[in-house]
Amino acid sequence: SGIPLDKYQEAFIQHFSAVNPGWQDWCVKELRGHGPHPAPQGSQFGQTYYVFWNFFAHSPYVTAKGQRRFYVESGANHWAHLSNTLFFDKCLGWEGLCIEPTAAYHENLKTKRSCKLVPELVSAKRMGLAYTDNGAFGHVSAARENQSHVVSARPLAAMLAELNRSHVDFWSLDVEGHELQVLKGVDWMSLTFNTILIEDFHIDRHHLDYIMTRNGQRKYLQLGHDSLYYSK
């Protein structure tokens, strides 16, 4: 039945038009918090609903500088299933960066999403990392596992520089236990963020909060498997 909405939300939905008209019905369901979880398309546990209504419902789709708003999804995984950025792409028309090392997902990310695909890993520095390719559960390996192979990795700033971007409106970080290492390599002086959603199921939440708060990010909400932060 979805999540109870207030009058503002109902009015917003009544006048909402998806940037991609073919996605209108799905976008409205997302705005209402409808659908089974995990859903066949979109975020696993309704994370999109919380991010949009709390941070972007009042924001124009284009910034004061004339740029479309921008998301990063790492790892991007399947183009639609379990994606925390599908709504921002199909419904709002944001531009984005999809970071995904698993080759099986690359073609659909290129053809069915508007984001720029980087077929690598995001990490603290330029290096080669052992990566176990296990579909939705692909992960950086602590040591070379039988099914692992070496994948090139770069810091987020280097990837964004190729797109002439230094500001990210929404970053979804879900890299199966490698999140803390990624965050330690973020250039917090040159990059800015509105909101960052981090899967914390495999990591120490206290350590995560420490890294984020000392770098100017404030904890907004603790979800079941994720921590949501925004810039102070």
Beta-bridge partners for 70: 95
CA dihedral 75, 156, 51, 103 (to 10 degrees): -20
Quick one: tokens of 155? 């810091």
State how far the Cα of 164 lies from the Cα of 116, in Å rounded to an integer: 12
pLDDT of res. 136? 59
Q: How far apart are CA 173 and CA 76, in angstroms?
A: 9
- Classified as helix, coil or strand, 156 is helix
pLDDT tens digits, residue range 108-118? 999 999 999 99
CB atoms within 10 A of CB 167: 14
Other beta carbons less than 10 A from residue 7's beta carbon: 7
What is the rounded CA–CA span in Å between residue 36 and residue 38? 6
pLDDT of the residue at 145:
55
Q: Which CATH architecture has domain 62-231?
A: 3-Layer(aba) Sandwich (3.40)
Residue 61's pLDDT is: 86
Predicted pLDDT at 5: 74
1 pLDDT band, cuts 50/70/90, is very low
Mean pLDDT of the chain, nearest integer: 90
Report the alpha-carbon distance of residue 205 to residue 202 in Å, rounded: 9
pLDDT digits 0-9 by tens, 83-123 = 999 999 999 999 999 999 999 999 999 999 999 999 999 99
Q: If phi over 0 gives left and psi between -120 and 50 gives alpha, with beta otherwise, what is residue 42?
A: left
The answer to whether the beta carbons of residues 170 and 54 sit under 8 Å apart is: no
Query: Around Cβ 203, how many Cβ atoms within 10 Å?
Result: 19
Question: Please, which pLDDT band fits residue 6 given cuts at 50, 70 and 90?
Answer: confident
Which stretch of DSSP H or E encloses residue 137? Answer: none
pLDDT at residue 221 is higher than 80 = yes
What's the whole-model pTM score?
A: 0.91
Instruction: Give the whole-number percent of the chain exceeding pLDDT 70.
Output: 90
Each residue of 29-49: pLDDT tens digit? Answer: 999 987 656 667 899 888 999
- CB atoms under 10 Å from CB of 147, counted, come to 10
Q: Which of 172, 168, 183, 182 is nearest to 213 (CA)?
A: 183
- Domain extent listing, the chain: 62-231
Averaged pLDDT for residues 150-167? 95
